[in-house]
Chains A and B, each alone.
Chain A
Amino acid sequence: MHLVRSLIRQLRSFGQRRTVKQEIDEELSFHLEQRMTENIATGMPPDQAARDARKRFGNLQTIREECRATRGASFGEATWDDIRFGLRMLAKSPGTTAIVALSLSFAIAANTTVFSFVNALLIRPVPVEAPEQLWQIWRLRPNASSEMKRYGAWSRPSIAHLRANARSCAAIGAFEAEPTLGTWYHHGAGESVQSLFVSGNFFEVCAIKPALGRFFMPDEDVTPGTHPAVVVSHAFWKNRLGADAQAVGSALTINGVSLTIIGVAPRSFAGVVAAVTPDLWLPLMMAPSILHDPEWNTRRDTHSLIGLGRLKKEVSAVQAAAELTVLTHQFDEPHQEDGTRGEDAILMPALMVPGPVRGYIRAFTGMLMGAVLLVLLIACANTANLQLARATARQQEMAIRSAMGATRTRLIRQLLTESVLLAMLGGGLGLLLSAWLARLIANLIPSNLPIRLAVEFDWRVLAFTAAISLVTGIIFGTSPAFRCTQVDLASTLKDGARGVSVQRSRLVSLLIVGQIALCLVLLLAAALCGRSFLNARSVDPGFVSRDRITADFNLRDLGCTADQAREYCARLVARVETIPGVQSAALTSYLPFGLERINGTFQLEGREPTPGDHGFFFEQFSVGPGYFATIGATLLQGREFTKADREGALRVAIINEAAAKRYWPGENPIGRRLFNGSPNPENALEIVGVVETGRYRTLGEEPRPVFYECFLQGSQLSGTIVTHIQGAPGAALAAVRLAAREVDARLAFSRIAPLEQHVALALFPVRTSSLLLGGLGFVGLVLAVSGLFGVVSYSVAQRSREVGIRMALGAQRRDVLRLLFVQGLKLAGFGLLLGLGSALATTRLLQSLLFGVSAIDPVTFIAVPMVLFGIASLACWIPARRAALVDPMVALRTE
């Protein structure tokens, strides 16, 4: 009962904290005044009256504190006072505060970043109405060998069958598992957009409302090609359409097909699967026209749809799955080749990460989360050490406060408040850092991969950061607070601080050694990757990337014949060559180092393939006249393709030197023939030139044999124009963009960019690894250095009395300095040795990423530890120097 009453009083006083403080003061001063008045009435002079009143009253401050404590008016007030005092204390030593806040901010940033990804993938519910009632429908293969193979997507006819006949579901919709990259033609140029084909009732099943306009009607998805409607995403509408209020009803041309925008999705909805954030949603029935594939909807052997459904009331997921299984068997049976049982259907909760992948993602992010939490704990341990150093110096202050009447609880609360403030500061910085980091990671993904990881910082992430900062503050603040207030009043005011237990300091030393070792390993790996990256950039890929522009084109959308296509191609090249500043232009089916690759086996005239092979292997390209000159590849023998090599003339080919050496060693390949298919005359191609060997798929590959056929002798409907320009690329880029339109108004180039940008894709793995490892290494460095700094500061604080005595007994400053310095350096030394050993053992894991530098490259393995040693020395030297500068008398007296 008392507890309840006092709790109520505490809560009430929390709100009126000022009033209670004022009330107490008023009451006590009333008493004093009354006494003073009475004293004056008995004849005392006023100042004596006041003094007497005070004397009779007792210690005003202590009594005031006691009253406040009893009244329970303290909580809110005291906390506010603590915060103000804490901020002042932090401001008094800005250097240490900055170091601590920075190291904490890195650790907290790492945690927040990982959590934001976990949130986006695993925690955040799907942004639809009643997400817990939404289910994903997958195919189930009960006898599959692995988890990934157990689940499959639906073909379009099979899911249509389910939609038509399912009784247990209120509605079944479907969406493509992967988005399609399409070309959006606007303002005379083509731009890549990600589009997703969905069923007509997709948005209805999701039960969301459009931001503008409307969504598809079920009847718009019945007959192919009849309803060219498109729904755009909010991001697309805002960024690419300029948030135009008149967008609904306007036209959008995708892959040459004109569509009408009927609505804009709400801002919170970017799709129902993580990392798939399409710009547009299109009805399934429009796919045949847009993908130029009339049988798209009727094919039984392509499985790419995932079902999405809501169940009828009182129907459980198990019942629904059973019914759908029956329907699936029904559908599959007439077409089963053997009598094997067909696949089943299964319902899974519709979450951002689909069921089959969820387990892997959970394991992976769990591991990541564990790793960054470990980093945070290490940062806490470091900070605790630093705080202990400061606490030891403040013991006298605590003793004085205790003597003046503060209870131990109060003191601990104040110290904890300081720690939490420091942690919150680190947390705030960490949040900013993490926001920047998340954006950086999202941007690392090359734009032509259909993955977009949009990570938002919603309330969950903010709450997580706040909570983790609070807990961090409490963790690293507890030990120093308790130690610091453990005052035996008399002895502390007289004596010096006692040492901490040997066990603890050994643990701390071990921790520091470990941190330095880990930091060294990370930095060495990062340095190796960094050097690989630089080496890779200077590798000769067999062509020149400078002063070249590429532009993709696709004639499929024009619906022309092979002859017309060839004519268009020739005209495109001719038109581009007339642009001022263009030296030459040429065609190719695709560029090396891209995502496409075509290769095949050919038969060689007069040669048998090795037993077991079907033929001779070549990478395949189809290039136009003057390609090698345009792209800067050296022709070693023979000639390039010319305009004379057209359809109907002798079919010609060019090979590279690697092919010549491998398949015609010691001979002249010019004039030889190879066969694209069986060795018949109609499949024959004559070799007319040999070009230098370059690199085609990755920068670190072994020489590959390559075969070039002539673009104008094939039936290519799409490809890339490579243009060799002079001078600044800006004007040329714009002119090239316009060139396509002049050949045909419906034509537009897409992905017009300098060749260098394209080549950057090949550097992606090594670039990313060096960035990531470098980042981790840097974080490790900050932590290790701050830890070392803390350890040395603490031992300095502990031993300052000893230092004073030594100096009073005649030791020189530099002896003292050396004493303290060497202690820290020993730790650093052990750490470096341990790290070097570990690195020698583990960097071989990076071998596949390394390029031009060995996994135990001596230069790196000497330079990096030396730099680290230098930094560690500095971290040891600064606090040691500070201690050695102290006047020995002061050191002896203050402790």
Chain B
Amino acid sequence: MAASKSELLQGTLDLLILKTLTTGSMHGYGIVQHIQHRSDDVLVVEEGSLYPCLYRMEEKGWIAAEWGKSENNRRAKFYSLTRAGRKQLAEETALWERICRAISLVLQTA
């Protein structure tokens, strides 16, 4: 079950992370919390799958990473959006909206 869920969210996970980071730099745990909270616990991500995704995005240059201190004074890695990341976010958001609109168009004509 977990496998199928992560497949579904594969492409959209990038989008969600990018959007999350517009609110400010965060560590991985914070990102997960944010996504779950904002989606009213609908989108429950397998938490570990976040990290390979984050590394992939860092590789592509959409986000930048930095070590810092967390709320409870622990060492954690914080991610922030880069300019290329912002551009990517805009593109993916536009794409997502087009898909959504297309699907809802199909569902409407019933």
- CB of B27 within 8 Å of the partner chain: yes
> 0/1 per residue, B26-63, Cβ < 8 Å to A?
01110010000000000000111101100110011100
Least distance between B7 CB and chain A CB atoms (Å): 13
Write out the residue numbers on chain B whose beta carbons fall within 8 Å of the beta carbon of A58: 2, 46-49
From known contacts A27-B76, A30-B70, infer whether A66 and B29 are also in contact, taking CB-CB under 8 Å. no
Write out the residue numbers on chain A whose beta carbons fall within 8 Å of the beta carbon of B47: 31, 35, 56-58
Question: Which of A2-10, A358-366, A883-891 participates in binding chain B?
Answer: A2-10
Complex CA–CA separation, A558 to B72 (angstroms):
103
- CB of A23 within 8 Å of the partner chain: yes
Complex CA–CA separation, A31 to B59 (angstroms):
21
Least distance between A272 CB and chain B CB atoms (Å): 58
Number of interface residues of B (CB under 8 A): 22
> 0/1 per residue, A63-74, Cβ < 8 Å to B?
100110011100
Write out the residue numbers on chain A whose beta carbons fall within 8 Å of the beta carbon of B49: 58, 63
Write out the residue numbers on chain B whose beta carbons fall within 8 Å of the beta carbon of A70: 52, 55-56, 59
Query: Would you call A66 and B28 a contact (CB within 8 A)?
Result: no
> 0/1 per residue, A30-62, Cβ < 8 Å to B?
110111010000000000000000001111100
Least distance between A528 CB and chain B CB atoms (Å): 69
Write out the residue numbers on chain A whose beta carbons fall within 8 Å of the beta carbon of B32: 31
Write out the residue numbers on chain B whose beta carbons fall within 8 Å of the beta carbon of A2: 59-61
User: B-side binding surface: helix, strand, loop or mixed?
Assistant: helix
Query: Would you call B75 and A5 a contact (CB within 8 A)?
Result: no
From known contacts A27-B28, A31-B28, infer whether A56 and B51 are also in contact, taking CB-CB under 8 Å. no
Query: Would you call B75 and A6 a contact (CB within 8 A)?
Result: no
Complex CA–CA separation, A28 to B32 (angstroms):
13
Query: Would you call A27 and B77 a contact (CB within 8 A)?
Result: yes
Complex CA–CA separation, A24 to B51 (angstroms):
9
Number of A-B contacts (CB under 8 A): 65
Write out the residue numbers on chain A whose beta carbons fall within 8 Å of the beta carbon of B46: 56-58
From known contacts A2-B60, A5-B61, infer whether A23 and B77 are also in contact, taking CB-CB under 8 Å. yes
Least distance between A6 CB and chain B CB atoms (Å): 6
Least distance between A876 CB and chain B CB atoms (Å): 50
Query: Would you call A63 and B52 a contact (CB within 8 A)?
Result: yes
Write out the residue numbers on chain B whose beta carbons fall within 8 Å of the beta carbon of A26: 75
Complex CA–CA separation, A31 to B61 (angstroms):
23
Chain B, Cβ-Cβ closest to A1: B61
Write out the residue numbers on chain A whose beta carbons fall within 8 Å of the beta carbon of B76: 27, 30
Write out the residue numbers on chain A whose beta carbons fall within 8 Å of the beta carbon of B60: 2
What bracket does the count of chain A residues touching chain B fall in? 20 to 34
Query: Would you call B59 and A30 a contact (CB within 8 A)?
Result: no
Those of A300-351 within 8 Å (CB) of chain B = none
Write out the residue numbers on chain B whose beta carbons fall within 8 Å of the beta carbon of A71: 55, 59
From known contacts A2-B60, A5-B61, infer whether A63 and B29 are also in contact, taking CB-CB under 8 Å. no
Query: Would you call A31 and B29 a contact (CB within 8 A)?
Result: yes
Write out the residue numbers on chain B whose beta carbons fall within 8 Å of the beta carbon of A23: 77
User: A-side binding surface: helix, strand, loop or mixed?
Assistant: helix
Complex CA–CA separation, A30 to B29 (angstroms):
8
Least distance between B10 CB and chain A CB atoms (Å): 13
Query: Would you call A67 and B61 a contact (CB within 8 A)?
Result: no
Query: Would you call B61 and A63 a contact (CB within 8 A)?
Result: no
Write out the residue numbers on chain B whose beta carbons fall within 8 Å of the beta carbon of A9: 59
Contact of B52 among A5, A31, A34, A67 (CB under 8 A): A67
Write out the residue numbers on chain B whose beta carbons fall within 8 Å of the beta carbon of A37: 72
Chain A, Cβ-Cβ closest to B52: A66
Write out the residue numbers on chain B whose beta carbons fall within 8 Å of the beta carbon of A24: 51
Chain B, Cβ-Cβ closest to A23: B77
Write out the residue numbers on chain A whose beta carbons fall within 8 Å of the beta carbon of B72: 37
Query: Would you call B70 and A63 a contact (CB within 8 A)?
Result: no
Complex CA–CA separation, A33 to B28 (angstroms):
12
Write out the residue numbers on chain A whose beta carbons fall within 8 Å of the beta carbon of B77: 23, 27, 30
Write out the residue numbers on chain A whose beta carbons fall within 8 Å of the beta carbon of B70: 30, 34
Write out the residue numbers on chain A whose beta carbons fall within 8 Å of the beta carbon of B74: 30, 33
Least distance between B108 CB and chain A CB atoms (Å): 37
Chain A, Cβ-Cβ closest to B44: A56
Chain A, Cβ-Cβ closest to B55: A70
Complex CA–CA separation, A680 to B70 (angstroms):
124
Query: Would you call A30 and B51 a contact (CB within 8 A)?
Result: no
Least distance between B34 CB and chain A CB atoms (Å): 13
Query: Would you call B48 and A63 a contact (CB within 8 A)?
Result: yes
Chain B, Cβ-Cβ closest to A57: B48
Chain B, Cβ-Cβ closest to A27: B77
Least distance between A806 CB and chain B CB atoms (Å): 43
Query: Would you call A28 and B75 a contact (CB within 8 A)?
Result: no
Write out the residue numbers on chain B whose beta carbons fall within 8 Å of the beta carbon of A34: 29, 70
Complex CA–CA separation, A19 to B46 (angstroms):
26
Complex CA–CA separation, A637 to B61 (angstroms):
108
Complex CA–CA separation, A37 to B49 (angstroms):
20
Write out the residue numbers on chain A whose beta carbons fall within 8 Å of the beta carbon of B48: 28, 31, 57-60, 63
Complex CA–CA separation, A9 to B70 (angstroms):
26
Complex CA–CA separation, A63 to B48 (angstroms):
6
Complex CA–CA separation, A183 to B70 (angstroms):
89
Query: Would you call A28 and B51 a contact (CB within 8 A)?
Result: yes
Complex CA–CA separation, A48 to B82 (angstroms):
39
Complex CA–CA separation, A784 to B32 (angstroms):
63
Contact of B27 among A30, A66, A67 (CB under 8 A): A30
Least distance between B80 CB and chain A CB atoms (Å): 15
Least distance between B2 CB and chain A CB atoms (Å): 6
Query: Would you call A5 and B59 a contact (CB within 8 A)?
Result: yes
Complex CA–CA separation, A27 to B77 (angstroms):
7
Complex CA–CA separation, A60 to B49 (angstroms):
10
> 0/1 per residue, A205-233, Cβ < 8 Å to B?
00000000000000000000000000000
Query: Would you call B59 and A6 a contact (CB within 8 A)?
Result: yes
Complex CA–CA separation, A63 to B72 (angstroms):
25
Write out the residue numbers on chain A whose beta carbons fall within 8 Å of the beta carbon of B61: 2, 5
> 0/1 per residue, B1-41, Cβ < 8 Å to A?
01000000000000000000000000111001000000000
Complex CA–CA separation, A667 to B42 (angstroms):
130
Least distance between B3 CB and chain A CB atoms (Å): 10
Q: Given A2-B60, A30-B76, A34-B29, output 14 extra A-B contacts at Cβ < 8 Å.
A: A24-B51, A27-B28, A27-B77, A30-B28, A31-B47, A35-B29, A56-B47, A57-B46, A58-B47, A58-B49, A60-B48, A70-B52, A70-B56, A70-B59
Q: List 11 A-B contacts (CB under 8 A).
A: A2-B60, A23-B77, A27-B76, A30-B70, A30-B74, A31-B47, A35-B47, A56-B47, A57-B47, A63-B48, A72-B59
The 6 closest A-B pairs by CB, nearest first: A58-B48, A63-B48, A66-B52, A70-B55, A57-B48, A58-B46
